[in-house]
Structure 1
Amino acid sequence: MKVLNKIAPFLYLALFYGVINIILRLALLFNPITQTNFTFIDFLKIFGLGALSDLFVFLMASGFLWLYLLFLSNGKFEKPWGYIIFGILVSLLIYVSFFNTILNEYGGVLPEIGMAFIGLKTLLFGLLLFLPKYRREIRLALYSLAIFIFVLVIIQNAVSEYFFWNEFGVKYNFIAVDYLVYTNTVIGNIMESYPVIPLFLTIGTVSIVSTYFIVKRTKSYLENLLNFIDKLTIIGVYSILFITSLLSIPFLAKSENSPNIFANELQANGVYKFYLAFMNSELDYFKFYKTLPENDAFALLKKQLPAISENSSQRQIESQGSELHKNVVLITVESLSADFLKAYGNEQNITPFLDSLATQSLMFTNLYATGNRTVRGLEAVTLSIPPTAGESVVKRKDNKNKFSTGSVFRKKGYNVKYLYGGDAFFDNMEDFFSGNGYDIVDKKTFPSNEISFQNVWGVCDEDLYQKSIKIMNEEAKQNKPFFNHIMTVSNHRPFTYPENKIDIPADAKSREGGVKYTDYALKQFFAMAQKQTWYKNTVFVIVADHCASSSGKTELPIDKYHIPALVYAPGFIKPQKFNTLMSQIDVMPTVMGLLNFKYQSKFYGQDIFKSDYKPRAFIATYEDLGFIKDNTLTIISPVRKAKQFDLIVSSQDNGTIPMHYEQKPKTEVNQNLVNETISFYQTTSDILKNSKYQKELQHPIVFSDKPFNSKRKDKNSQKPNPVN
């Protein structure tokens, strides 16, 4: 019993951490987003190996607790040691406050943090030294505060994991790391999305009550502080446990290998998942994935892109007709899943305008987003490359002067802009787009009289569209065509928008309300655009950045990547549903094909109406890279793993559009498809790594004065010929 008393604080906090994680796993297990069945083995691993992982993580994290406990003693306050230590602390405080220290060399808030820490330490040591009669009470108060902080962190982490799961269907990943970086925006989103006052009051109350019971059970530790021998013993034992934990945690992580992805996520420890995401935000393809000899990889790529030269993606794009320098407005809509639209079977009538516009547009019905984050969608329509492992190019350091949609339009003499309702600093958008020749229009450029409603993500879509109309009216006066890329924000949690716009109350904060308001705002935009002089000479492209949710039973549930895309240009593009499989990276090369653009391309995306187009699509997370072709999904992932699934249509809407698939593991792998998958992702990584995706030098612009030939021919009969 005496031994247990010597480690009582550790034991009770470890027990508390274990209980909280059991409750968390049960809550996630029964969460509506966890749509799967579990085997008995799954349950054993979730609650058995999962608990073991929790213990080892706690052993490592409790190092801070042990440091605090080991420094508790009465001997350091005895004469003369107490006065010597206090004098040293006072001198150190004076030094960091009035002299140039190493903290000042680093700059930022480090000097203030250093002064605050040393000042607080000096104050507390002084109280314990000069008020010996109250030392017991002061120490108990400080001990209670320390336990409270640990308890609060444990509870807050569990609550955070729950809400993260509720949003993404996984434990912490790269998105959580992003959220740590963009703290202001994320905290604002939480403040507007959830009942934070009741939530924080509940967290605080549970933390205080839990702290009370833990302190009550362990305060005897303060009455019998450890002697020097006990501390040496504990340091030795803890060191062994720490090293054991350090080796065991990665080993247990390897046991998260169930074919049921939810089971793996529930077994995992969220803190360790966060650590992995933080340490591996960029993955070296050549280190972690299957590869082919370089020449073989590019030879396979050449079969898909026959005109490429050498080991690159560069090729000449030709067209039979005269170039058409029409204005192009690209609208990437936040979180617009295909199944929100009536054309894909939705019966809620939450996109009435888009449903109507779809019947008047070229509609790509079998199109898949490359990823599950906005930066992936922006990467796809701007750089037109398959998604690479780790972070999107948008967020990498080497993200400038790339061959891009904007560089092609700018070379054709267009004004090029990126318009965003939020602060473009978020997700590194400003750095990326400005570094690739786009002029930036974001929330910072909005005077107060142009903002009727805003939330943490930015101004509402209506305000963004009104600003866009003003800008395009100014551009139209310059006698130059314009390419404007608009990124919306309203269809995002907390799903708040102006009152009395749609029949779903703004305070409902529902996904359906966010979608319907987004649709309403688009209707207002087109109503305004139709009144402008430039409208009839403009091609409008509407595409989602990604789906509303990406969680599912498998690594890459393809129905959670299915997005709509429309090309609307009345009098130019005939309405048509195009049902061939395609990728988000094909959207802008196809639009350029409709405009008969001739250019040196580096895009992996293709004009899907060209005769050499071979249907395929790319979908990915940060680690799992997927390739859809011939009703097969091939996934390559770390460490040099490859798997395949037969895609069996389980439901179709309107009898033509496949919406849901059963992904059945293949018993025999099609190595040709595996190699093709490797080829796309390996060559993309190679080209980016070796700076072979930089834009071409600008040349003088020569506009053709030849009239557009409305009878232009195309080898692919499905291509919607422009109409007069």
Structure 2
Amino acid sequence: MKIIKKAILAFVLLLLFWVLVFDFQRVLFSIHYLDKLKDNSFWEWIQIFFHSIRLDLATGSVLSVLPLVLITIFISTQKKLFFNLFKIILIVELVLVAMIHAGEINAYGEWNHKLTSRVFMHLSNPDEVFRTADYTMTVLFILYLILEIVFGWKVSKWLFKTTRFNVEQTQIWLKLLLYIPILPVLLGLQFLLARGGWQQIPINIDASYFSKNFVINDISVNSPYFFGKSFLLFKRSNIGEFLSNYSQEELANTMSDFLNYEKEHDNYILENTSPNLVFVILESWTSTVSSRLSGKPGATPNFDELSKSGVLFTNLYATGSTSEIGNASIFSGYPALPEISISMQPFKHRKLKSLNQSLMHRDYTSGYLFSGDLKYGNIDSYFNDHGFDRIQDESDFPSNLERGKLNYYDEDLYDLFLNKINRQEEPFLECAFTGSTHSPYDFPGHNKESWKGKAANFMNSVIYADQCLAEFIQEAEKQKWHENTLFIIVADHGHASPYISNPNDAEFYRIPLLLYGPALKDAARGMVIDKVGSQADIAATLLYQMKVDTGKDYPWSKDLLNPNVPEFALHATTRGFGWVTPAGKFTFHLDYQKYIVNTFDPQMLPQERKRCDAFMQMIYEEYESL
């Protein structure tokens, strides 16, 4: 009977061990991000430790399977080898869990969400990880890793003493008689706990959600569970099971306005159909940094002034939250689907068309310049595969220039960019991708800050980037090619700001788009376009203005200058998707299976959800066929 009691004790102590480890991680996270919790009461924070128990037990059960087998074998045989193996496996799991959480603490300040499969994209270029992180982040990662491992090691020594599991010597047949039935029973209990009980649908993230503050909910969900779920989806790269399965007829009926609206119109804003195109892709410029777009104190006075003489799009949304997704959307008119980055899949993205390819028949040359490393997100491969004539990154910058940890400064990027453009024959498509507004925000003059409070480092980097943008435009005005040039100034994705930090809110994804320059008709200067659209709509909007027959090359891109265009934007969030129309917005979480954000009237929501599902199904079906 002692064997049974000891086995049950091991089962309970293993679960207790993991609950204590997860709770210790929550305490560390809460201390580190105390500023994000200042608007929450102490009582709400305490509730985290109660609402998290079910999911902690589920995760602990999964992590305890192999350790339980080993320690019960030790209890039955009293062979020290099995106890040593038990401790080794437990510590290996502890180290992995600690690494996930220590990485999450560092990434959360920039990403505003828990660690997901997105990390694998970064880990494919390890140097990018260390360059993005400042020295403080590296030190903190090591510190939290050590603290969590030491804590877990101490708890394991306290809970799993060898003497606690010693039993009297008995005959081997009796040990087996007692051991053989108890292990399947305990493993069955673990399975039951892992799925959260007998209910039809297994436990999920929503078991720990209870607050209206997403940070509180993120703390409540233990990191290895969230990361593990994301990893499983990452390994599949297949979200089909989450999408609708409408018939083709129902798809056509649901999205009839998108499929059948009148494409022809005479709302032309360009002086001619073959202007030089100069793209400036602004790293992380969320719309809330602009006073003109947010109506609040901002960090972009120069951009705001430029916008008064251009065509400003006020309701444009990034399709995702990473740079490689933004670039593919801008140049190939391709929307984003949750957990899918098409630029990471060359065999698929090569089948898409891009703006430069659509302009080759007009003898446009094309160039792309980035101040960092284009290996990130396979961006280099994407532009190479799509036939850009010149693709350059940090390796092409003069070696005598000072630089930040991640990339060269915006001021030097623009200087080199002008130099490159001046060597091109017209017409051309040229693109500069900035980097100074990316962490670690070590731009020149970073000690001369002028923004205080929340997101100060980011906002001050935007102030610097805004100044550099204005100086670039001033220098461009002196060049011969300027008179026939259209500047397309747009962000790659959004970012947390003093006004919005919830990555589930559509506002997090709203970004600026400005068409500016002498190529615009006088009547277009100062125009404001309030239509709802996304980065994926830039391609169709530009090419129609240039009277380029695109055929079926950009099936998901809408012309936002068309008076008849249906207004909507789809954006992929962390583990979910969002939908925006003039009537409202929602964000749906795939794991939670609930709306995190919804402003649609309850009577409209079912129809808008159906439209969103139908649109994603159409995109996914084409994606699968590529």
Structure 2 gap ranges (5+): none
- Looking at structure 1, the residues matched to 614 and 329 of structure 2 have their Cα atoms a distance apart, in angstroms, of 18
For the residue of structure 2 that corresponds to 1:455, the secondary structure is coil
For the residue of structure 1 that corresponds to 2:495, the secondary structure is coil
What is the match of residue 707 of structure 1? Answer: none
Which amino acid is 2:620 matched to? Answer: S
Structure 1 gap ranges (5+): 78-135, 309-314, 646-662, 692-724
What is the match of residue 602 of structure 2? Answer: 667
Residue 600 of structure 2 is aligned to residue 686 of structure 1: no
Query: Contact conserved, 2:55 with 2:205, CA < 8 A, in 1?
Result: no
Deviation at 1:374? 2.1
What is the match of residue 517 of structure 1? Answer: 464
For the residue of structure 2 that corresponds to 1:161, the secondary structure is helix
For the residue of structure 1 that corresponds to 2:488, the secondary structure is strand
For the residue of structure 2 that corresponds to 1:200, the secondary structure is helix
For the residue of structure 2 that corresponds to 1:251, the secondary structure is coil
For the residue of structure 2 that corresponds to 1:365, the secondary structure is strand
For the residue of structure 2 that corresponds to 1:474, the secondary structure is coil
Residue 553 of structure 2 is aligned to residue 602 of structure 1: yes
Residue 227 of structure 2 is aligned to residue 274 of structure 1: yes
- Looking at structure 2, the residues matched to 172 and 345 of structure 1 have their Cα atoms a distance apart, in angstroms, of 29
For the residue of structure 1 that corresponds to 2:558, the secondary structure is coil
Which amino acid is 2:351 matched to? Answer: N
Deviation at 1:391? 0.8
Once the two structures are superposed, what CA deviation does each residue of 1:446-471 show, in whole Å capped at 9, x if it has no partner?
A: 25526420323x33323332332232
Give the RMSD, CA atoms, in angstroms.
4.5
Query: Contact conserved, 2:365 with 2:427, CA < 8 A, in 1?
Result: yes
What is the match of residue 570 of structure 2? Answer: 618
Larger radius of gyration between Structure 1 and Structure 2? 1
Q: Which 10-residue stretch deviates more, 376-385 or 522-531? A: 522-531
What is the match of residue 495 of structure 1? Answer: 441
For the residue of structure 1 that corresponds to 2:435, the secondary structure is coil
After superposition, residues 136-215 of structure 1 pair within 5 angstroms as 149-190=92-133, 192=134, 194-197=136-139, 200-201=142-143, 203-204=145-146, 207-208=149-150, 211-212=153-154, 214-215=156-157
Deviation at 1:605? 2.4
Once the two structures are superposed, what CA deviation does each residue of 1:4-47 show, in whole Å capped at 9, x if it has no partner?
A: 77788876664343123234446667754469879999986x54
- Looking at structure 2, the residues matched to 644 and 594 of structure 1 have their Cα atoms a distance apart, in angstroms, of 38
Q: CA 1:633–1:350 in 2, change beyond 3 Å: closer, same or farther?
A: closer
Deviation at 1:296? 3.6
Deviation at 1:336? 0.5
Query: Contact conserved, 1:371 with 1:619, CA < 8 A, in 2?
Result: yes
Query: Contact conserved, 2:62 with 2:190, CA < 8 A, in 1?
Result: yes
- Looking at structure 2, the residues matched to 361 and 439 of structure 1 have their Cα atoms a distance apart, in angstroms, of 29
For the residue of structure 1 that corresponds to 2:244, the secondary structure is coil
What is the match of residue 526 of structure 1? Answer: 473
Once the two structures are superposed, what CA deviation does each residue of 1:565-602 show, in whole Å capped at 9, x if it has no partner?
A: 11111363443141422312223332334434444353
- Looking at structure 2, the residues matched to 337 and 541 of structure 1 have their Cα atoms a distance apart, in angstroms, of 16
For the residue of structure 2 that corresponds to 1:370, the secondary structure is coil
Q: CA 1:7–1:189 in 2, change beyond 3 Å: closer, same or farther?
A: farther
Which amino acid is 2:103 matched to? Answer: S
Q: CA 1:530–1:553 in 2, change beyond 3 Å: closer, same or farther?
A: closer
- Looking at structure 2, the residues matched to 144 and 278 of structure 1 have their Cα atoms a distance apart, in angstroms, of 26
Deviation at 1:362? 1.8
Q: CA 1:339–1:193 in 2, change beyond 3 Å: closer, same or farther?
A: farther
Of 257, 282, 285, which aligns to 1:303?
257
Q: CA 1:535–1:72 in 2, change beyond 3 Å: closer, same or farther?
A: farther
Give the TM-score normalised by structure 2.
Answer: 0.80
- Looking at structure 2, the residues matched to 690 and 444 of structure 1 have their Cα atoms a distance apart, in angstroms, of 36
For the residue of structure 1 that corresponds to 2:602, the secondary structure is coil
Give the TM-score normalised by structure 1.
Answer: 0.70
What is the match of residue 406 of structure 1? Answer: 356
Query: Contact conserved, 1:22 with 1:47, CA < 8 A, in 2?
Result: yes
After superposition, residues 275-424 of structure 1 pair within 5 angstroms as 275-281=228-234, 284=238, 287-306=241-260, 324-345=273-294, 350-396=299-345, 397-424=347-374
What is the match of residue 115 of structure 1? Answer: none
What is the match of residue 53 of structure 1? Answer: 55
- Looking at structure 1, the residues matched to 546 and 109 of structure 2 have their Cα atoms a distance apart, in angstroms, of 43
What is the match of residue 542 of structure 2? Answer: 591
Of 234, 244, 257, which aligns to 2:192?
244
Q: CA 1:226–1:465 in 2, change beyond 3 Å: closer, same or farther?
A: farther
For the residue of structure 1 that corresponds to 2:230, the secondary structure is helix
Q: CA 1:555–1:522 in 2, change beyond 3 Å: closer, same or farther?
A: closer
- Looking at structure 1, the residues matched to 94 and 616 of structure 2 have their Cα atoms a distance apart, in angstroms, of 45
Deviation at 1:402? 0.7
What is the match of residue 515 of structure 2? Answer: 567
Deviation at 1:682? 2.5
For the residue of structure 2 that corresponds to 1:566, the secondary structure is strand
Once the two structures are superposed, what CA deviation does each residue of 1:334-387 show, in whole Å capped at 9, x if it has no partner?
A: 111111122135765632332332233221122222222223322321222333
Query: Contact conserved, 1:189 with 1:494, CA < 8 A, in 2?
Result: yes
- Looking at structure 2, the residues matched to 639 and 219 of structure 1 have their Cα atoms a distance apart, in angstroms, of 38
Once the two structures are superposed, what CA deviation does each residue of 1:124-181 show, in whole Å capped at 9, x if it has no partner?
A: xxxxxxxxxxxx9x99999987766555444443333333443333333332343444
What is the match of residue 631 of structure 1? Answer: 583
Once the two structures are superposed, what CA deviation does each residue of 1:471-525 show, in whole Å capped at 9, x if it has no partner?
A: 222223xxx42112322222112111234796569xx981122212222332343
What is the match of residue 483 of structure 2? Answer: 536
Once the two structures are superposed, what CA deviation does each residue of 1:45-86 show, in whole Å capped at 9, x if it has no partner?
A: x5445222222322322345457657879x999xxxxxxxxx
Q: CA 1:368–1:349 in 2, change beyond 3 Å: closer, same or farther?
A: closer
Once the two structures are superposed, what CA deviation does each residue of 1:649-706 show, in whole Å capped at 9, x if it has no partner?
A: xxxxxxxxxxxxxx44633245554443344322222333334xxxxxxxxxxxxxxx
Which amino acid is 1:466 matched to? Answer: D
Query: Contact conserved, 1:385 with 1:585, CA < 8 A, in 2?
Result: yes
- Looking at structure 2, the residues matched to 20 and 34 of structure 1 have their Cα atoms a distance apart, in angstroms, of 21
**What is the number of equivalent residue pairs in this alignment?**
601
For the residue of structure 2 that corresponds to 1:331, the secondary structure is strand
- Looking at structure 2, the residues matched to 486 and 283 of structure 1 have their Cα atoms a distance apart, in angstroms, of 30
Of 528, 531, 548, which aligns to 2:495?
548
For the residue of structure 1 that corresponds to 2:423, the secondary structure is helix
Once the two structures are superposed, what CA deviation does each residue of 1:220-278 show, in whole Å capped at 9, x if it has no partner?
A: 34995998738767754553344334543871217547695836544433212222212
Question: Among the aligned pairs, what percent are the same residue?
Answer: 19
